[in-house]
Amino acid sequence: MSVTSLQFADKEGYLSQIEKITHSHTLRKAESLCKLLRYLADHALTQPDVPLKEYQIATEVFGRPENFDPQIDSAIRVQAGRLRLKLLDYYSHEGLTDPIMVEMPNGGYALSFHHRETLVPVAVPALTRFPLPVESPKPRKIARRWIVAVTGLSLALGGALAAIVALSIALNSARARQQSEAAVPVALRGFWNQFASNPDAPLVIFSNAAFVGRPETGMRYLDPARDSHDLILDHYTGVGEVLAVHELDRIFNLLDRPIELKRGSLFTLDEAKKSDLIFVGSPAENLALLDLPGSQDFVFKRLDSGPHKGELGIVNVHPEPGQPPIFYPSDSSQPLTEDYAIVALVGGLNPARHVLILAGTTTIGTQAAVEYVCARYSVEELLRRLAAPAGDEVKPFEALLRVKVTRGVPVGTQLVAVRHRKQ
């Protein structure tokens, strides 16, 4: 029975179930998700006919400012997606026998409460009656027969209960898989399937450029011609890379697949032969890309002349009519307002594996590239431009993105050009 009306016959029971879930092993360390779950439950039980808005959740639950814009900031949708997965996980394991189920259907933020249907009891064989012999047996023999009968009955009952539990686990697991698959739009599943379908987790290699100096006295990129390799600091990465990895983790959680992380300076060519690879960051900072086949149509290059001398740009190797030969971000002497990034699916050292490059000329562009391939509508746009048949594996390509930036945040991404690569 699904509870959707104003009349809640078991409101206290539903609230008790919410508390049980928030104190479970699945959720007890996720304070933000527990807070969100309690808020959604209170709203569902007190105002079931009033739909919740992202803005309301953002400001009342997570303390976001009044100028919060859900069209720009996807944080609430991300948190809701994580909560859906946590609820599925809870009811597949710890809450397997709970009489009350709590769900958050896709497409909104309204909780629903369900009472599990009572399991049909399994018929247990009646106790066998042993006819009394003409001669009364010795007491010890009678007792032995009763022990055998009771033992057999106990084994039959235990087997029946084990079968019920196994069937319940299988049904709940199948239901969880179906709901998880339904939560992933078709376009996203089609784009990422080649990375999520292999038995081994894809390797996400994020950039961590080689610096010299110290944060307190000043840092700069390593100059191999004049700097000693003994002074290298290679444990820094950009804000965009951090947020990008979080977004990739969200997508692969929806696909029910793990990812493995590796910082660029520790990546080896042996790993390139064994794993599917997702590079986060340009070859200017993700130096591992320099040792592998990379992009061919849109190539990162540090400019050696002109007003952007010394800055990183993207060379348009085969410009089409009306396109410039080089794309570069806004002037480095001014706040960043525009960046460019690439999304490239290329061949690797192992033809049986896939390599995806997600990189901008700055860390903000890198973040935008990852967010572009993790959002339903933008992936649908990309697949349309690629003319990729539904259900088919996406073929190698390179795409160029223009990124609008406001106060260090990518607020708009435009697909500028797409190139198909030769196999």
Q: What is the pLDDT of residue 4?
A: 43
Q: What is the pLDDT of residue 49?
A: 78
Q: What is the pLDDT of residue 146?
A: 60
| Domains of the chain: total | 3
Return d(Cα 18, Cα 313) in angstroms, integer.
52
Do 211 and 129 have their domain in common?
no
How far CA 83 is from CA of 41, 93, 134, 405, in Å, comes to 13, 15, 70, 30
How far CA 262 is from CA of 217, 272, 275, 283, in Å, comes to 28, 12, 12, 15
In one-letter notation, the amino acid at residue 75 is A
Structure tokens at 293: 């086949």
| Contact status, residue 415 vs residue 386, Cβ threshold 8 Å | no
Domain that holds residue 171: 123-182
Q: What is the pLDDT of residue 163?
A: 61
Q: What is the pLDDT of residue 160?
A: 62
User: CA-based angle 387:400:276, to the nearest 5?
Assistant: 75
| Contact status, residue 367 vs residue 239, Cβ threshold 8 Å | yes
Where among 118, 136, 161 does a domain terminate?
118
Q: What is the pLDDT of residue 237?
A: 83
Q: Specify the DSSP element, H or E, that contains 68.
A: none
| pTM of the predicted protein model | 0.58
What residues have CB less than 8 Å from 56, skipping those under 6 apart?
none
Do 67 and 207 have their domain in common?
no
Do 144 and 83 have their domain in common?
no
Residues of the chain with pLDDT under 70: 1-9, 117-183, 229, 423
Q: What is the pLDDT of residue 314?
A: 93
Q: What is the pLDDT of residue 134?
A: 52
Q: What is the pLDDT of residue 78?
A: 87
Q: What is the pLDDT of residue 6?
A: 38
Do 255 and 371 have their domain in common?
yes
Q: What is the pLDDT of residue 180?
A: 46
Where among 95, 118, 141 does a domain terminate?
118
Return d(Cα 198, Cα 203) in angstroms, integer.
12
CB atoms under 10 Å from CB of 412, counted, come to 13
